[in-house]
Structures are given as C-alpha cells and as structure tokens.
C-alpha cells in the first residue's frame, strides 16, 4: 500500500531525490494526450527509516493536481525500501520498472542482471492479488465511474500478462496465454450493457482464480521458485552493507512516524 502525504512533505522529498524513474502508461508507451505522469522517486533515506521498529514497507505517494486535473503521481521509496519491496513483492511497480529496463541509468542498474530471478511465485502472486482487487473495485464503480472501471480492468489484464510472462519462463502449463485479452478490452465501450460487462468480469475472474491455484501447485511441486536465490539475496545484502546510506534527522521524522503508525494501527493510508 502507498501512504498519501502532504504537499509540504512532498516538497521536502523532492529535494532529496537520488533517481527518478518514469512508470505507468508512458513507460509502457500506452499513454494518451490526457495521461498524467507517473514518477517513482528513489530518495535519500530519512533518519526515521533507519531508527524505527514500525513496518516501513509502505511507499509514500503524492498526487499533483493543476486546476483540479491530476497531472502527476509521485511515489517515493528509499533504496532499502525498493530492494525490500521487490524481494517481498510488496509492490508491482518495482517489478514493472525492472522488466521494462527503467533501472538502467539509476544507482540500481546492477539489479537488471537478476531480472529473471524475480520471475517467481511471490511476484506472480502479487500481480494476481492486485488483479483480484481491481476486479472487485471495477465492479463497484461500473455505474458511477465507467471510465475508471474500465481502466481497472486494463490493469487486471496487464497483471495477468505479467503472470503469463513469469510462467513462460518455466516449463509448466500455461492454458490462458492465448486468450484474446485485447479483444476483451475492445468490448469496453460506453454503450456496453451490464450483462456483457459482467461476462468480461467473470472471464477475467476465472482466469485470475485459476492462475492463483496453479501458482500454488507449481510452488508445491517445485516447478517454480518461491523467491530469489540465496546467492542473489546475499549480493543485494552486500550492496546495502557496502553502500552505507547516510541518514540525517529532519523536521519530518515525527510526521513520518505518525503516518506509519496510523498505517499499522488503523490501516489508514492518508
């Protein structure tokens, strides 16, 4: 989950950026003239992250508006968070920027050598979990925000396609790889009936559930690794140990502590 932050914290973090990576529709070359910008910022580590016992896997997010129109989505992550979250598949974004070659000109360029290692059970389950959530959200808002409802289904298809790519890396059954996903998405038009919309939901829901079962089967019978190898894990650990991150106290350490505490206790991300 991402924690929404204030403009003042956003402005502070902007001054502590190490690398900025474009993700989303522009990274995938699927953007339109009305698409907003999606930025993943790798930031210098605030003192709070080094000295807390709270779970800090949640990334920070700020949505930038101009005249009530969303123009940019900023997601902030420290180097340590990035590595922790991509290993534990806490966020699909990090895997996406890796497989799309977006780390090439960042301080994490070396991680690209291990791209295939992240094609594992946990990454696939992450995308299937996100797909299941988006299917539910799409159904809820179909009558109130059709455009966003359709967008959610596009995310579902993208998630399924990431899973297909992961499975294709191994010699295992992949029954749904030849489904005409673009054909399904092409049916999402303003005049679509709810009955036809539900058919698409049911097809995608069935595929997601079947893949969830298959992934567990593949894991149980050692057809796909659960996570990265120990040797790769050690390389990542050595990188962190050999590249000490200097953390300095800031006026926002108390704010960050409150945000992550609320996320833990009240499941609040705003």
Residues 6+ apart with CB under 8 A from 219: 121, 226
pLDDT per residue over 45-63, tens digit each?
A: 888 888 899 999 999 999 9
Distances from the Cα of 105 to the Cαs of 98, 108, 114, 154, in angstroms?
12, 8, 16, 29
Condensed to tens digits (0 to 9), the pLDDT of residues 77-93 reads 999 999 999 999 999 99
Confidence category of residue 196, pLDDT binned at 50, 70, 90: very high
For the segment 150-167, what is each residue's pLDDT rounded down to a tens digit? 999 999 999 999 999 999
Could you state, in order of their start, the residue ranges of all structural domains in the chain?
2-115+228-265, 122-220
- Average pLDDT of every residue of the chain: 92
In order of 130, 132, 153, 193, 218, the CA distances from 202 in angstroms are 16, 12, 12, 14, 24
Residue 117 pLDDT: 97
- What's the pLDDT tens digit per position in 208-233? 999 999 999 999 999 999 999 999 99
Q: What is the pLDDT of residue 134?
A: 97
Cβ atoms of residues 93 and 40 within 8 Å: yes
Q: What tokens appear for 115 in the block?
A: 């791209």
For domain 2-115+228-265, is the CATH number 2.60.40? Answer: no
188 CB-near residues (< 8 Å, 6+ apart): 150, 153, 197, 200
- The pLDDT assigned to 269 comes to 63
């Amino acid at each position: 989950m991402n924690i929404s932050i204030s403009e003042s914290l956003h402005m502070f973090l902007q001054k502590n950026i190490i690398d900025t990576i474009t993700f989303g529709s522009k990274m995938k070359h699927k953007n339109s003239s009305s698409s907003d910008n999606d930025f993943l910022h790798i930031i210098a580590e605030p003192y709070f992250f080094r000295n807390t016992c709270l779970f800090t896997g949640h990334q920070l997010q700020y949505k930038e508006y101009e005249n009530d129109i969303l123009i940019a989505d900023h997601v902030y992550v420290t180097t340590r968070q990035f590595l922790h979250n991509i290993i534990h598949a806490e966020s699909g974004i990090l895997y996406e920027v890796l497989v799309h070659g977006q780390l090439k000109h960042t301080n994490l360029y070396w991680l690209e050598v291990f791209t295939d290692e992240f094609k594992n059970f946990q990454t696939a389950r992450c995308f299937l979990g996100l797909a299941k959530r988006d299917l539910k959200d799409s159904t809820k808002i179909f009558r109130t925000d059709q455009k966003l409802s359709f967008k959610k289904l596009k995310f579902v298809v993208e998630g399924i396609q990431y899973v297909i790519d992961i499975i294709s890396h191994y010699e295992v059954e992949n029954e749904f790889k030849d489904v005409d996903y673009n054909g399904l998405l092409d049916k999402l038009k303003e005049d679509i009936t709810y009955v036809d919309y539900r058919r698409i939901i049911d097809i995608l829901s069935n595929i997601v559930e079947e893949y969830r079962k298959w992934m567990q089967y593949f894991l149980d019978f050692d057809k796909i690794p659960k996570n990265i190898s120990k040797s790769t894990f050690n390389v990542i650990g050595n990188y962190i140990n050999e590249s000490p991150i200097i953390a300095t106290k800031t006026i926002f350490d108390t704010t960050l502590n409150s945000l992550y505490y609320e996320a833990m206790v009240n499941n609040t991300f705003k």
